[in-house]
């Protein structure tokens, strides 16, 4: 039973964030909700091959899953240019629709599923550097913490990584601040200029 649980966790890591894997009495059920709802079954023999099979057998199974469209060869990594485009687009959306409405629309832009593996500090830090660099250089964005936080949240979630978006308040003098956190990294900093903000709103799982 422990081996089966470990195996299903390994399969989930391969298929995340695109599909959910559920153990059944005869094997496993893969649910894919991306473009259309569909279900794929894995026999107990296939599941056992992940436990006891050779590396070649595991590779063959992964190849079949990739061909079926349930897995990708590489995780999506956003380039520096893409981060800049997302940041400017988010900032424009906040200016035209308002921050509150953008927060309500997060469930459409940020998927609700998450990879089984946890985000690394290095990849979140890389995203932070890209977001902060574009925010500093762009006269249009002009260090907008709301745009930075929403952009980081959406891109992390679209990579299937867990993230939480926070909105905090400081009383004296009164001000609001927004940031996203993942793997212990905050984008932008949770306490800019050393000022602490008490979170009054936290959003995770695609805006829910």
Q: Which residues of 22-57 are buried (b: 16+ CB within 10 A; e: fewer)?
A: ebeeebbebebeeeeeeebebeeebbebbeebeeee
Q: Are 61 and 46 in contact (CB under 8 A)?
A: yes
Query: Which pLDDT does position 206 carry in this prediction?
Result: 43
pLDDT of residue 75: 55
| Residue 97: per-residue pLDDT | 94
Q: Quick one: which of 13, 32, 12, 34 has its CA closest to 21?
A: 12
List Cα–Cα distances, 9 to 14, 25, 126, 141, in angstroms: 9, 17, 27, 41
Residues 99 and 6: their CA atoms lie apart, in Å, by 42
Structure tokens at 60: 């063959």
Maximum CA pair distance of the chain?
64
Give 4's contacts (C-beta < 8 A, 6+ positions apart): 23, 47, 51
pLDDT tens digits, residue range 124-159?
999 999 999 999 888 888 889 999 999 999 999 888
Give the whole-angstrom CA distance, residue 69 versus residue 107: 23
Distances (CA, A) of 1 to 7, 29, 109, 123: 10, 17, 37, 34
- Positive or negative, the CA dihedral 105, 109, 114, 120 is negative
CA dist list (Å): 101 to 17, 90, 92:
26, 12, 13
Q: Can you give the pTM of this predicted structure?
A: 0.66
Q: Which long-range contacts (CB under 8 A, 24 or more apart) does 58-65 make?
A: 62/14, 65/14, 65/15
Residues (pLDDT < 50) of the chain are 74, 206-208
Which residue segments constitute the domains of the chain, with CATH numbers given? 2-67 (no CATH), 80-204 (3.30.460)
pLDDT at 37: 58
Query: Distance between CA atoms of 135 and 88, rounded to whole angstroms?
Result: 9
């Amino acid at each position: 039973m422990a081996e089966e649980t470990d195996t299903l966790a390994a399969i989930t890591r391969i298929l995340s964030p695109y599909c959910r894997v559920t153990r059944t009495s005869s094997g496993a059920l893969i649910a894919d909700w991306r473009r259309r709802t569909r279900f794929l079954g894995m026999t107990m023999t296939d599941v056992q091959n992940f436990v006891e099979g050779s590396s070649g057998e595991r590779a063959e199974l992964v190849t079949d899953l990739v061909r079926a469209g349930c897995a990708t060869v590489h995780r999506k990594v956003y380039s520096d240019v893409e981060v800049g485009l997302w940041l400017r687009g988010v900032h424009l959306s906040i200016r035209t629709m308002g921050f509150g409405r953008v927060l309500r629309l997060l469930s459409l832009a940020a998927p609700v599923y998450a990879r089984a593996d946890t985000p690394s500090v290095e990849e979140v830090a890389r995203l932070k550097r890209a977001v902060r660099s574009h925010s500093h250089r762009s006269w249009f964005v002009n260090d907008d913490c709301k745009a930075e936080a929403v952009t980081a949240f959406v891109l992390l979630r679209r990579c299937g990584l867990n993230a939480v978006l926070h909105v905090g308040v400081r009383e004296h003098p009164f001000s609001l601040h927004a940031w996203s956190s993942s793997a212990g990294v905050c984008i932008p900093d949770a306490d800019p200029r050393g000022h602490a903000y008490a979170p009054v709103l936290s959003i995770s799982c695609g805006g829910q």
